[in-house]
Amino acid sequence: MHEFDDTADTESTTDRRSPTNTNRRRYLAGVGALGLTGLAGCLDWVSGQDDDDDPEYNQIGSGRADRELAGTPIAEMPDLEGTLEVYSGRDQFLVGQLFEDLQNYYDDFTIDPRYGSSTDLVNQIRTEEANTPADVFFTVNVGALGLLAGEGYTQALPDEVLDLGREGYQDPDGQWIGTSGRARTVPYNTDELDESDVPDSISEFPETDALADQIGWAPTYGSCQDFVTAMRIMEGDDATREWLEAMVDHGVREYGNEFQVAQAVADGELLAGLTNHYYVVRVLDNRNEPPIDMTYTDGDAASFFNVAGAAVMDDSSNSDLAANFVRHLLSAEAQDYFAVSRTFEYPMIPEVEPIEELPSFDDLETPDLDLQEFTQADVTETEELMRDAGAL
């Protein structure tokens, strides 16, 4: 049995293309003037009582006062009561506030989180087997969810949970569900490049002279390896190896994580990079009109859309509570949290839109890739291929 190892899939704590054929990535232009500063870390939810003694879920200081909550509100969901052990491959910086908010809302509900990389947590569950204390596995890495489901460590989620999510972004057998999403993008320095200077196809990047020694990536980072896995599925191992080798020969520059790549683009240290969309938003959120924007390739692996998600452990002694907790991750309030607070992700219920500066979900031009096929891919083979190509 392979040891699951996706190297660096934890999220950085320092931290589509347009529907028209023109101006296809100017969605973030002018974000600095729109008051994104203060969104990160300022979404607080508190519990209170109205005249009928029913709890109200209040959104405080989100910076998006004009956003109306959509979807199923927490008030219409079953109460959470008891103690839940959550193994979280999502960083505390990004989801800890959400956990606290839920505990503040429900007086008799406690989350006992265990934070770590999805790699470590998956291997821990494998070691613990039926004795694992984990009730819920919550992760940014959908491959880890697929692996645990495939090895029988998870149980099917109730229909009332699965019915909330987007079709195609959950396990066909109901073993896990996507809770938020992220698009692969190409950030570029707007002082040095126009949108027309960035190729529409990832295959053209190592052939673009302007990008020689001027493009960055984070090959040890889980999201970058997910992109390479998507390329393997779509193009085959041989073509992917050739592309990786060509990128190395073209002088692609390595960084520790994708937030650093986006920062380097804004600093003028790089002309372009390969990152998830929200790292660009975070740079814009923390700087005054930095020279950075992002584009999307035309439906190839570099525009892959991936999800974070959650599953209930098969041996959970609190399976009903665990399923209802996952249900709360798909509530109107939690989905808006993912969209406008620390993560700037794509919500995973159809009723909630991303922040205004991002293309809508329906406008993304993602590749024709079955997410289930992606979850069944062996990430260790991706790492081996990247090492063989000199990318790791």
Residue 23 lies in a domain: no
For position 222, what pLDDT does the model report? Answer: 82
Q: Are 136 and 104 within one domain?
A: yes
Looking only at the bridges linking them, the beta strands covering 215-217 and 275-276 are: unpaired
Specify the pLDDT at position 37. Answer: 36
180 Cβ contact list (under 8 Å, min separation 6)? 307, 308, 335, 338, 343, 345, 346, 347, 348
Q: pLDDT at position 342, please?
A: 67
Residue 17 included in any domain:
no
Number of domains present in the structure of the chain: 2
**Amino acid letter, 150:** G
Do 357 and 384 sit in the same domain of this protein?
no
- Whether 96 and 197 map to the same domain: the answer is no
Based on the domain organization, do 267 and 193 belong to the same domain? yes
* Shared-domain flag, residues 193 and 299: yes
Flag whether 2 is in a domain.
no
- For 332-359, what is each residue's pLDDT tens digit? 999 999 998 767 999 999 888 888 778 8
Range of the domain at 381: 182-304+377-388
Question: Do both 209 and 258 map to the same domain?
Answer: yes
Query: Same domain, yes or no, for 203 and 93?
Result: no
pLDDT at 170: 93
Any domain includes 193:
yes
Backbone φ and ψ of 132, nearest 5°: -65, 135
Closest among 21, 389, 41 to 217, alpha carbons compared? 389
Are 339 and 319 part of one and the same domain?
Answer: yes
Residue owning tokens 């190297």? 7
Q: Distance from CA of residue 143 to its chain's centroid?
A: 12
Residue 171 sits in the same domain as residue 59:
yes
If the chain, 392 residues long, is cut into consecutive pieces of 10 residues, what is the mean pLDDT of each piece?
Answer: 42 40 40 36 36 36 58 95 96 92 97 92 94 95 88 97 93 95 95 95 96 96 89 95 98 95 98 95 90 93 93 96 98 92 86 85 83 78 94 94
Residue 290 belongs to some domain of the structure:
yes
In a domain, residue 156? The reply is yes
pLDDT reported for residue 143: 83
Indicate whether 123 and 263 sit together in one domain.
Answer: no
If asked whether residues 128 and 191 sit together in one domain, one would say no
pLDDT at residue number 11: 56
Q: Is the pTM of this model over 0.85?
A: no
**Structural domain contains residue 20:** no
Q: Quick check: is 276 in a domain?
A: yes
Q: Supply the CATH number for residue 282's domain.
A: 3.40.190.10
Between the CA of residue 214 and those of 122, 206, 268, what are the distances in Å? Answer: 36, 11, 10
Q: Are 67 and 338 in contact (CB under 8 A)?
A: no
Structural tokens at position 257:
């994580």
Residue type, 318: N
54/134 same-domain check: yes
Give residue 22's pLDDT: 37
